[in-house]
Amino acid sequence: MNRRNFLSLGSASAAIALLPAAKVKAASAHTPCSQLSELPAPPSPETTKRLFPGFVAGTVQTSGASINVLKGGEGPPLLLIHGHLETHVTWHKIAADLARNYSVIIPDLRGYGDSSKPDGGERQVNYSFRAMAQDQVETMRHFGYDRFFVAGHDRGARVAHRLCLDHPDNVLKVCLMDIAPTLTMYRDTNKDFATRYVWWFLQIQPFPMPEHIIGNDPEYYLKEHLAVQGKTPGAVTPEAMAEYLRCYCCTGTIHAACEDYRAAADIDLEMDEADDKAGRKVSAPLLALWGGKGVVGHLWDVLATWRAKAASVSGRALDCGHLLPEEQPAEVLAELQGFFRG
């Protein structure tokens, strides 16, 4: 089936019926899923200059994808990896400050933002955290960096976890934001977690059902998702939200995001289980940060989950929800500077 047309299946009324009554009128007013473009509209250079002063945008061709990336600053190399629904823009509040002391590389994950959206392949292997981690190594190598610091949020933190396991010699230190290990979270799934993280279970369903449901009103899905995850009103600025909407509200990104989640519930778990069986752990010093008002810290002892997976772990909760770099940028900045400098 052609991806360009996959969201034209069925009637929008089925998905709208799933929404609360108060949302139906608003949902009906949005662009029908069959009319979504396949790819995001081109980015605005002016927006990049405003959000990331001093950074230069470019594209790196890896062995599996075309990666949109920003580079700025001077000093030791630091890779920042964003999470689900968002793009590299999630780092805009702290990037310029970090660039005073680091050479900062900020990509869009494959499938997200303005990076390419390759076919998922068998068992969605091309959206496995292994494939996305390989993109990061090749992107950093493109800029001449073989060893570097890494900070990842949400899906980006899961990519960073896999990066540490598959490429231990490349990672100096790693900061993982608001996650527990993927295998741990799926093994511990209960009603509370399934209710709060519904997208973990919607987006792993076979194509095209989740794509069709999300595609009927992707703006509502994205905004509601971020509103539920974040606990600091206004933390996502209007300009950042506009960028998230530009990049997410198209069939290519919606499908890629679902392929990411399908891989995480299948082939990624197999890789994690193999690492556990072999006794492989993260060897780089690991800083875990999480939102004290969020789901992960409420349902898991975050430090304990990572001490089972890594040799050296420190960290703490911040006074916010899930969106740490946007809800608590000053604290995140201070934590990263202290950790990577120490």
Task: Look at residue 25 in the predicted model and tell me its pLDDT.
Answer: 36
Phi, psi of 41 (to 5 degrees): -65, 155
Dist. CA 199–CA 15, nearest whole Å: 15
Catalytic site residue 154?
Answer: yes
Dist. CA 144–CA 109, nearest whole Å: 19
Dist. CA 290–CA 287, nearest whole Å: 10
pLDDT for 88-98, tens place per residue? 999 999 999 99
Mean pLDDT calculated for residue range 103-132: 98
Q: Taking all residues of the chain, what is their mean pLDDT, rounded to a whole number? A: 92
2 pLDDT more than 50? no
13 pLDDT more than 80? no
Catalytic residue selected from 82, 92, 255, 322: 322
Mean pLDDT calculated for residue range 219-232: 98
Rounded to 10 deg, the angle between the 251-264 and 267-278 helix axes is 30
If one counts every other C-beta atom within 10 angstroms of the C-beta of residue 148, the result is 23
Dist. CA 12–CA 212, nearest whole Å: 9
Task: Look at residue 342 in the predicted model and tell me its pLDDT.
Answer: 78
Dist. CA 64–CA 58, nearest whole Å: 17
Catalytic residue selected from 108, 154, 217, 275: 154
